[in-house]
Amino acid sequence: MTVVFFFTLFVFLFPFIGYLRRPDHLTEYQVTHTVAIIAAHNEQRVIDHIITDCEAAHFSEVVVVADRCTDETATIAASHGARVIFVDCGSKTKALTEAIPQVVLHQDNTAVIMFFDADNQIGPDFLQRILPYFQAHDMVQCRVRNLNTNTWVARMYLIMAGSWVRFQDALTVLHRSNILCGTGWGARAATFKQWPLECSTLTDDLEYSGITRARIYFARDVDTFDEKPATFGVSVRQRTRWVRGAWQVIFTRTRDFDPAKWYIEALPILTAWFTFRFFSSLIHAATVATGLLAWTLTIIMSSAIDMVYYASLLDRRDLARLTIWDLLSYTAWCLTNYPIVVYGLITWHVSAWTRTPHVGQVEK
């Protein structure tokens, strides 16, 4: 029990190492070409926003990878001056794997390739802020913030992402490679030529973070805004896809991981371990007199402690968009992850892509 206690304590205290991070000292990066790649499947409601933002940020080229689009996504993208690559993959991972060589191979090695989701938005100074990081780093992941906080579910994602920032900062302090977040990341063209993005799981970000030998650097001061699920049902579908992808990475790709990035494959294993601990405690409580009452009171007390814990990890900008109830109820939100982890394990072999619908909600 002593080992379990100190291990759990380490996991919960690890993000606070991120507070030791110092400001980055950046120098100008001379680049002749910048490309924004946007994977899209039936995103006619939102695709124009990110293309317009990329143009305002002065990207040299905007490429939309239209995967099995049956709406006006490709037409809208082309009308805004974007190059459209048509693929028939039915999966963001497979679509990017097929399209990236068509974009990268003819680029100069110093060219910077950035990736965004169709529902994303960026500021006009995005390139000005992100390019200096490429002077010293092959791959860069910027911070992903919420576009929307109009529902309780969306605000749970805000807490989750805000806490993740401290985890990334802690990795930076310890001089470890960071972890890609699915959007708002990029690399020099030379990186893709040396380590092609050839992914096969539902979580290409986690998979590529591990198999590439390039070090990923977290640019915490550069923002990409991402629309989060507004309803619980949509969030369950998205989280199920994430969990399935994580299990797929563990079962099929960890043998290809960079040994120095062992902690990346440890993340889903840690999640599974905490899931087992949760259900074992619940089963134990159910078999003991007054056990469920004591277990429920423990969860309520944990919510109060967690409120302080997560509030201490968030910055003022994120805290200003939350209520005390949001912070108190985040523990309940986390509890809903446990059955998803188990279901994702049981169905880990399912490779069908589950789309998260976007409606263009903007509250930056």
Top-confidence residue, 216 or 362: 216
Q: How many CA atoms lie within 13 A of 168 on its CB side?
A: 24
Mean pLDDT of 98-119: 93
Position 3 pLDDT exceeds 70: no
Mean pLDDT of 268-275: 66
**CA angle in degrees (0–180, nearest 5) for 32-36-37:** 135
3-class secondary structure, 181: coil
Question: Could you tell me how far CA 105 lies from the centroid of its own chain?
Answer: 26
Q: How many CA atoms lie within 13 A of 297 on its CB side?
A: 5
| pLDDT (0 to 100) of residue 332 | 86
3-class secondary structure, 271: helix
3-class secondary structure, 130: helix
Are 102 and 35 in contact by the 8 Å Cβ rule? The answer is no
Mean pLDDT of 333-350: 90
Position 362 pLDDT exceeds 60: no
Q: Write down the number of H helices and E strands in the chain.
A: 14, 7
Are 169 and 21 in contact by the 8 Å Cβ rule? The answer is yes
Which segments within the chain are labelled E, that is strand?
34-40, 61-67, 83-87, 112-117, 139-146, 185-188, 216-226
| pLDDT (0 to 100) of residue 87 | 95
Mean pLDDT of 244-253: 92
Instruction: Report strand pairing: 61-67 vs 83-87.
Output: parallel
Residue 113 bridge partners (DSSP) = 35, 187
| pLDDT (0 to 100) of residue 357 | 73
Top-confidence residue, 268 or 249: 249
CA distance 161 to 178: 14
Fold type of domain 8-17+31-364: Spore Coat Polysaccharide Biosynthesis Protein SpsA; Chain A (3.90.550)
Mean pLDDT of 321-340: 90
Are 167 and 176 in contact by the 8 Å Cβ rule? The answer is no
Mean pLDDT of 282-309: 67
Q: 38 to each of 8, 14, 48, 228, 345, how far by Cα in Å?
A: 39, 33, 11, 17, 30
| pLDDT (0 to 100) of residue 291 | 62
**CA angle in degrees (0–180, nearest 5) for 258-203-331:** 105
Domain boundary assignment for the chain: 8-17+31-364
Position 299 pLDDT exceeds 80: no
Confidence of residue 285 (pLDDT cuts 50, 70, 90): low
pTM: 0.90
Confidence of residue 361 (pLDDT cuts 50, 70, 90): low
Confidence of residue 273 (pLDDT cuts 50, 70, 90): low
Confidence of residue 335 (pLDDT cuts 50, 70, 90): confident
CA distance 9 to 304: 17
| pLDDT (0 to 100) of residue 275 | 63
Percentage, residues of the chain above pLDDT 90: 66
Position 278 pLDDT exceeds 60: no
HEC states along 284-345? HHHCCCCHHHHHHHHHHHHHHHHHHHHHHHCCHHHHCCCCHHHHHHHHHHHHCHHHHHHHHH
State the sign of the Cα–Cα–Cα–Cα dihedral 307, 311, 313, 319.
Answer: positive
Q: What percent helix, strand, coil does the chain show, rounded to 5?
A: 55, 15, 35
Q: Is 13 exposed, middle or buried (0-12, 13-18, 19+ CB in 10 A)?
A: exposed
Confidence of residue 249 (pLDDT cuts 50, 70, 90): very high
Q: pLDDT of 174-206, one tens digit each?
A: 999 999 999 999 999 999 999 999 999 999 999
